[in-house]
Structure 1
Amino acid sequence: MLGIFSSSIVSPPEELVAAGSRTPSPKTTAGRLLKRFVESKASAVSLQVGEHVQLAYTHHNESPWQPRSFAVKDEIFCLFEGALDNLGSLIQQYGLAKSANEVILVIEAYKALRDRAPYPANRVVCHLSGSFAFIVFDKSTSTLFVASDQAGKVPLYWGITADGYVAFADDADLLKGACGKSLASFPQGCFYSTAVGGLRCYENPKNKITAVPAEAEEIWGAFFKVTR
């Protein structure tokens, strides 16, 4: 899966900007990144959301235990990869139809966060059990919400393209060509929300998250460490 967002939606994280500055490396534009995804992934589906957001995904080569899914409801777009162990109980909690899947559940959880403000942002993900990574974009409010499970069972990476777009993907090699060293593994057990102003640990949003420079031979320029 791939999500690309202009700086009008997401301010490029300073930690990733600094990582790219320490070790300059070739980058490409967001447009070329999307083109590479579509051309290299069989049966890829891409979607332009307004002027500043591009989403793409494919079911090709997905794990049967960690499938990818996409849904949109009430202008809330969601890409989800993985599986929730407690989906049944969450469906009951949110009053959803028994046929609801993970991507619909995440959309409803996000809507609860948005509509019940001030609702703690970490509540969207702290009760999710299983392997997952997801990208939610709320077009009505231009809000982005991204999260990864506590064990990092589903890989997720983020980086900055040559033209300053912030990209999220489950394929590190795909982002490497576009983001150079302005690239990092998305920290497990964390969420990124433009509504709360950045990266947080959902176990305890007050935990400090720091970016540590990576070794020169690493594929990325930094990695994020949560101090509990």
Structure 2
Amino acid sequence: MLGIFSRAIVTPPDELVAAGCRTPSPKITSTALVNRFLENNACGVSVQIGDHVKLAYTHHCESVLQPRSFAVKDDIFCLFEGVLDNLGSLRQEYGLAKSANEVVLMIEAYKALRDRAPYPPSHVVGHLEGNFAFILFDKCTSTLFVASDQFGKVPLFWGITADGYVAFADDADLLKGACGKSLASFPQGCFFSTAAGGLRSYEHPKNTITAIPATDEEIWGAKFMVEGPTVVAAMK
């Protein structure tokens, strides 16, 4: 799955911007990145949302245990990869039919958070049990909401394209040639919300997340870590 967002939607992390400037390497534009995705995935589907958002996904070569899904409802677009172990109880909590899958559940959970919930995004993501990663965009509010499970079982990466778009993908190789050194693993157990102020740990929402520049020998521009007595997310 692939989600690409312009600076009008999200400000790129300073650490990834600095990494790209520190060790320049070839990049391609956001449009070229989508085209590359579709060229490598004959059954791929892409969606353009206005001038600032591009989404794409495919069922090609997906894992049976980590299927990919896509849904749109009330101008909320969501890409979801993985499986929720507590999907049944979450359906009941949000009043959904038994046929609702993970991506539909995520849209409804986000709507509840946006429209009526008195709790923060960390509460919503913290109640998801299983292996997952998702990219959600609310067109009505121009809000981006991205998260990865606490063990990083579903890979998720982010980087910056040649034209300054922030790209999220489950395929590191796809972004390596597109984002140069402006590339990192999305930290496990964390979420990114433009409505909530950026990158946060949903297990330890009050803890600061810092980025450590990678060495020149590494392909990554930085690794993001949650500060505290115990490091709960540290990924390259």
TM-score using structure 2 length: 0.95
Q: Which residue of 2 aligns with 1:212?
A: 212
Matches within 5 A, 1:163-178: 163-178=163-178
Q: Which residue of 1 aligns with 2:13?
A: 13
Gaps of 5+ in 1: none
Q: Take 1:47 and 1:81, find their aligned partners in 2: how far apart are those partners?
A: 17
Q: Could you say what secondary structure the match of 2:219 adopts?
A: coil
Query: How far off its partner does 1:217 sit?
Result: 2.2
Q: Take 2:208 and 2:46, find their aligned partners in 1: how far apart are those partners?
A: 35
- Structure 2 vs 1, CA of residues 118 and 18 (structure 1 numbering), >3 Å: closer, same or farther? farther
- Pairing 1:103–2:108 present: no
Aligned residue-pair number: 228
Query: How far off its partner does 1:118 sit?
Result: 4.7
Q: Take 1:50 and 1:204, find their aligned partners in 2: how far apart are those partners?
A: 35
Q: Could you say what secondary structure the match of 1:99 adopts?
A: coil
Q: Which residue of 2 aligns with 1:88?
A: 88
CA RMSD of aligned residues (A): 0.9
Q: Take 1:217 and 1:169, find their aligned partners in 2: how far apart are those partners?
A: 23
Q: Which residue of 2 aligns with 1:200?
A: 200
Deviations 1:168-213 (A, max 9, x none): 0001111111100000000000000000121000012111111011
Q: Match of 1:132, as an amino acid?
A: F
Q: Match of 2:91, as an amino acid?
A: I
Q: Which residue of 2 aligns with 1:67?
A: 67
Q: Could you say what secondary structure the match of 2:34 adopts?
A: helix
Q: Could you say what secondary structure the match of 1:20 adopts?
A: helix
Q: Which residue of 2 aligns with 1:28?
A: 28
Mean CA deviation greater in 208-217 or 184-193:
208-217
Q: Take 1:118 and 1:200, find their aligned partners in 2: how far apart are those partners?
A: 18
Q: Which residue of 2 aligns with 1:188?
A: 188
Q: Take 2:35 and 2:222, find their aligned partners in 1: how far apart are those partners?
A: 26
Gaps of 5+ in 2: 229-236
Q: Could you say what secondary structure the match of 2:131 adopts?
A: strand
Q: Match of 2:216, as an amino acid?
A: A
Percent pairwise identity:
78
Deviations 1:15-70 (A, max 9, x none): 11011122111111101101000111120000001111000000000000000000
Deviations 1:74-124 (A, max 9, x none): 110000000001001111111100110000010011111100255311122
Q: Take 2:61 and 2:54, find their aligned partners in 1: how far apart are those partners?
A: 21
Q: Which residue of 2 aligns with 1:138?
A: 138
Mean CA deviation greater in 116-125 or 184-193:
116-125
Q: Could you say what secondary structure the match of 1:122 adopts?
A: helix
Q: Take 1:50 and 1:142, find their aligned partners in 2: how far apart are those partners?
A: 11
Q: Take 1:38 and 1:96, find their aligned partners in 2: how far apart are those partners?
A: 33
